[in-house]
Amino acid sequence: MDVSQYLDIFIDETNEHIQSLSDNIMALEQEPENKDTINEIFRAAHSLKGMAGTMGFKRMQHLTHDMENVFSEVRNDTIKVNSNLIDILFQCLDAIEGYLNTVKNTSDEGTEDNEVLIKQLNDYLNGGGGDAPAAAAAAPAEEAEEKAEEAQTEDASAEEFKTLKLDDSEKGRLKEAQESGLNLFGFTMHIHPECLLKAARAFLVFKALEDYGEILVYHPSSQEIEDEKFELTFSCIVGCAGDDLNAMKEAVGAVSEIQNVECAKVSFEQYDKDGDEAPAATESESTPAPVAPAASAAPAPAAKKETPAAANKKAANKPVTARTVRVDIEKLDDLMNQVSELIIAKNSIVSISSAEAKGADVDQTFREQVEYLERITTSLHESVMKVRMVPIESTVNKFPRMIRDLSRKLNKPMDLVMTGEETELDRTVVDQIGDPLQHLLRNSADHGIEDPQTRIAAGKPEQGTIFLNAFQEGNNVIIQVGDDGGGIDTEAVLNKAIERGLVSPDEAENLSQKEIVDFLFNPGFSMAKKITDISGRGVGLDVVKSNIQALGGDVEVKTELGQGSTFTVRLPLTLAIIQALMVEVRDEKYAIALGSIMNIEDIPTSEIKYVQAKEVIHLRGMVIPLVRLDELLDFEPKEEEPDALIVVVVKKGDSYAGLVVDNLIGQQEIVIKSLGKVIENNKIISGATILGDGEVAMILDANALM
């Protein structure tokens, strides 16, 4: 069966399920008794298993199946959640992610069996709860039941659900559901004989039914359905609070390649009676054989040997899937509407040019249409940009898990508080911001938060708090990462800087707090007294900074000894199109990003002051250094100084600079183009843009001018 066309969807959805599992397992650790969470987990695990099975990834399916068993026992209250279990579950998630990565790179799941994990899971099942062996025995029981039934399948194919043979646990579930007031409905689906993906169709059917209620009984068993071990009919019994049978029938019928659906209300008693007639099935359940561990330990110790070689060979291959952006359908609808408008506008311009109307008339209509066209293209621009925007959620939502692991590893109780996960950024930025943020968080956890004794002594709550706040500010997105820990000892940083010869003791005296802290961003500069595997190798903040700068952003740090420190990451909202102010320096045109501009001032030459032989202006209480752009851009100095200067005041964080330009052209939306790869990366030019008349203009990077 060729499933490669579903690979992208599989990867996307698996990612979502893994994330949902991770979130919910975290929640479960906090509230072990919360039934909603457990149900949510169960559903995600089940979907994972189903998808892996459909795609033919047996090892992945095996692992998720055993996880599902554990969740099922948790749901039945037969085993209790504790942090050991949570640890094992997280390891399982990591293993599933490992499979997923292999799938991404090779479109195959690889050969890692993770038998250790599977064994741990099963040990937990067997040792953790008294009823576990019985649950493990359910599998053979079901098998026996299938065999008993096989003989009857043929004549039972019509309205099969009415004649299902159920085992005790299934009956129990039905009974419980009926007693708790749920309506029971039986379904039998007939699949089109030419259907290629029977399991996928069945899966879709079950998914549709799960919207209405819980599926209590699968026939054949869900495992067999996933393995496609069934003919053209399958059945299930659903317990749901509502009784809208027609809606359910419609939902199931809407799944393509489902030929026919039979359904009716059923009751527990119907099956209870049937059960008596099929003693073979019930009997086999009473043999409590712990089959699951044995079965899971069996596969492939031999296969494991060839793992490294195979993995190495395959790792060299390119990823088989392209990077995708999932787009909200609304955003696409907007795009579609705008494109239709664009076509209408084009048509009316075409008709004007072909019309033989009088001059003035044509002129008027033409201008109107051009304005219309302009409006559409602007909003089209915006929409396309929005399509590229994704919430940073997809990147930051793995952090709570990371902090939990660190907390346990470092023996420091700490909590991560995140806000603004919905803040949107360009997809490229979101993909690449993960590593720097992770690094900052690790720093906070390792160096920032003190151990509990120190904290209590300092009068702080025992549990440390790490925060990650994201929000939009103008054309930037700000992400703050910080902690309420010990803060950075600037004295120690300064000593280290002097020791390493980064600054002479004399110069050191004049450094501001901010300049001292900036030493931390120097390559190889580490303040850790001992190297841990979490941080402290000195390949840290400098990499963070250069990564962020590569994205056109910037990072700053504020710290107060004893109170904690905050790293502020500033990122541009989009990478491709910005609003800019066009200025002229002599006869050349330059663009300055509007986001960095504070205001524009006319400064009489007489008001220029000098501080340390550098030109500054005094503006509303601030002293702002002047940057003569003509000098900076290698023009000959002017022969005559004009009476007044046009100064564009730009800001970056808390620092300002006044750029002296010769002329202002105006505000414009510009498309950023790269200067190519061969021209040396020079800091003051961040790129180029093409103006309306086809001319190229350089974009000045105001940040580099500070």
Partner 1 sequence: MANHKELEAIEEEKIQYIVVKIGDEQYGINIALVDNIVRMQKITRVPKAQAHYNGVINLRGEVVPVMSARRKMKLGEDVLTNKSRIIILKLEEQGLVGIQVDEVKEVISLGESEIERNVQNAKRSANSFINGIGKNGNDLISIFEISALVDEVDAS
Q: Which stretch binds partner 1 (CB under 8 A): 139-147, 156-164, 393-401, 627-635?
A: 627-635
With binding defined as CB under 8 A, does residue 181 bind partner 1? no
Q: Does the footprint of partner 1 cover residue 634 (CB under 8 A)?
A: yes
Looking at beta carbons only, is 528 or 684 nearer to partner 1? Answer: 684
Beta bridge partners of 657: 650
Residue placing its CB nearer to partner 1 in the complex, 154 or 680: 680
**Rounded alpha-carbon distances, angstroms, from residue 633 to 584, 594, 636, 670, 683:** 12, 20, 9, 21, 12
675 close to 688: Cβ distance less than 8 angstroms: yes
Does 29 qualify as catalytic in the annotation? no
Can residue 385 be called a binding residue for partner 1 (CB under 8 A)?
A: no
Instruction: Write the binding mask 573 to 612 for partner 1: x where contact by CB under 8 A, - elsewhere.
Output: ---------------x------------------------
Site size toward partner 1, by CB under 8 A: 23
Under rule CB under 8 A, residue 696 binds partner 1 = yes
Q: Which of 697, 701, 702, 705 binds partner 1 (CB under 8 A)?
A: 697
Query: Residue written as tokens 């990003």?
Result: 593
DSSP 639: S
CB of 678 to partner 1, least distance (A): 5
Cβ distance to partner 1 smaller for residue 577 or 685: 685
**Sign of torsion over alpha carbons 481, 485, 489, 493:** negative
Q: Which of 287, 685, 692, 706 binds partner 1 (CB under 8 A)?
A: 685
Using DSSP, state whether 295 is helix, strand or coil: helix
Smallest separation (angstroms) from partner 1 to the CB of 652: 20
Rounded (to 5) percent helix, strand, coil in the chain: 50, 20, 30
- Provide φ and ψ at 18, rounded to 5°: -60, -45
Decide: is 676 part of the binding site for partner 1 (CB under 8 A).
Answer: yes
Report the residue number, 262 or 669, with the smaller CB distance to partner 1: 669
Beta bridge partners of 623: 618
Between 227 and 588, CB nearer to partner 1: 588
In total, the chain counts a number of residues equal to: 706
Question: Interacting stretch for partner 1, rule CB under 8 A, among 139-147, 418-426, 618-626, 690-698?
Answer: 690-698
Least Å distance, CB 318 to partner 1, is 17
Question: Can you tell me which residue has the tokens 């399509």?
Answer: 387
**Contact between 684 and partner 1 (CB under 8 A)?**
yes
Residue 538 CB, nearest approach to partner 1 (Å)? 21
Q: Which stretch binds partner 1 (CB under 8 A): 208-216, 234-242, 512-520, 675-683?
A: 675-683
Work out whether 384 is an interface residue with partner 1 (CB under 8 A): no
Judge whether 647 and 597 are in contact, CB under 8 Å.
Answer: no
Residue 135 engages partner 1 in binding (rule: CB under 8 A): no
- Cβ 698 to partner 1, closest distance in Å? 6
With CB under 8 A as the contact rule, the residue among 202, 466, 479, 688 that binds partner 1 is 688
> Which residues ranging from 516 to 545 are in contact with partner 1 (CB under 8 A)?
none
677 makes contact with partner 1 (CB under 8 A)? yes
Q: Closest CB to partner 1 among 380 and 632? A: 632
Interacting positions 59-78 with partner 1 (CB under 8 A): none
Q: Which of 134, 632, 665, 706 is close enough to bind partner 1 by CB under 8 A?
A: 632
Q: Catalytic pick from 17, 24, 46, 122?
A: 46
Instruction: Annotate 95-149 with three-state secondary structure.
Output: HHHHHHHHHHHHCCCCCCCCHHHHHHHHHHHHHHCCCHHHHHHHHHHHHHHHHHH
Task: For helices 58-75 and 83-106, give the axis angle rounded to 10 degrees.
Answer: 160
SS3 label, residue 13: helix
Token pair, residue 502, equals 């980064």
* From 29, 68, 170, 226, the catalytic residue: 68
What residues form DSSP beta bridges with 190? 233, 260
DSSP H or E segment with residue 458? none
Q: How far apart are the first and last CA of the chain?
A: 61
Question: Does position 704 bind partner 1 by CB under 8 A?
Answer: no
- Regarding 631 and contact with partner 1 (CB under 8 A), the answer is no
Our answer to whether residue 46 is catalytic in this structure is yes
Distance CA 73, CA 90 (A): 17
Which listed residue (443, 476, 547, 703) is catalytic?
443
Q: Which of 659, 698, 702, 705 binds partner 1 (CB under 8 A)?
A: 698
Nearer to partner 1, 623 or 679 (CB): 679
Quote the least distance from Cβ 635 to partner 1, whole Å.
Answer: 9
CB nearer to partner 1: give 1 or 679. 679
DSSP label of 405: H
Q: Tokens 């054949």 map to which residue?
A: 220
Rounded CA separation 405/152 (Å): 53
Residues 6 or more apart whose CB falls under 8 angstroms from that of 168 comprise: 275, 282, 285
Is 250 among the residues known to form the active site?
Answer: no
Give the Cα separation of 204 and 252 in Å (integer): 8
| Residues taking part in catalysis | 46, 68, 443
**Residues at the interface with partner 1 (CB under 8 A):** 588, 632-634, 673-682, 684-685, 688, 690, 694-698
